[in-house]
Amino acid sequence: MPAETPHSTHDKPTALYFGYANTTPDLDAFDVKTVHPDTLLESPAVFTVIGESHYVGLPAFGFHELCSCQPVSPETAYETPLSTDVERTFRFDGDTLRATTTVSGRPMESFPGPEAATVAFRFDPGAWTTIRVDETRYETYHTYPEYGLALHTETSLYSHASHAERTCDETTTDTPQQTSKNRQ
């Protein structure tokens, strides 16, 4: 049975921020709703629903994704507007892992519901964060009934040989939001 709690945001969010880092973010700064240990690429992983969205950690590969309605401060962060006409792709390229995340805004009716999710948390009627985990990928839904929006993400992970530098790139024309306003 999915967990549930009243959603307590005073202002309606207007964007979702995706941050990628090679170290674990300070999760004490977030309202953690539920934590689900699992595996990705045959390694321990953690999937966490936070009050603002989600966190996925794959420590063995130095991969940490933080997604929040509040600006985030990992090394690289991207802002995605809450809209049904958004489609963005971000890439994290680490020493031993490459991750590609595609974000797409969909109509609320496209949300499949929490039943097929590995992790599901209900904030309000119709307001969900769900995560479905597979062997080499995971997908999320973040629903916003106030916008008629089901924001869908799909992240595919690929392990590779080590290389000298760690980089993060976005394959769209948007640029990372790395200003001081993202510091919490």
At 69-83, the pLDDT tens digits run 888 875 678 899 999
- Give the whole-number percent of the chain exceeding pLDDT 90: 60
Q: What is the pLDDT of residue 70?
A: 84
Q: Measure CA 95 to chain center.
A: 21
Please check whether residue 148 lies inside any domain of the structure.
Answer: yes
Report yes or no on 176 lying in a domain: no
Number of domains in the chain: 1
Range of the domain at 110: 15-160
Q: Kindly report, residue by residue over 16-71, the tens digit of the pLDDT.
A: 999 888 888 888 888 999 999 999 999 999 999 998 789 999 999 999 999 998 88
User: Does 154 reside within a domain?
Assistant: yes
Q: Residue 160: its pLDDT value, please?
A: 83
Most trustworthy range by pLDDT among 3-17, 69-83, 130-144? 130-144
Residue 166 counted as domain residue: no
Distance (Å, whole) CA 72 – CA 70: 6
Q: What is the pLDDT of residue 161?
A: 67
The pLDDT, as a whole number, for residue 28 is: 86
Q: What is the pLDDT of residue 162?
A: 57
Please give the average per-residue pLDDT across 6-13, as a whole number. 57
| In a domain? residue 168 | no
Residue 121: which of 98, 99, 140 has the closest Cα? Answer: 140
The token duo for 157 is 């992970």
pTM of the complete model: 0.80
Residue 179 inside a domain? The answer is no
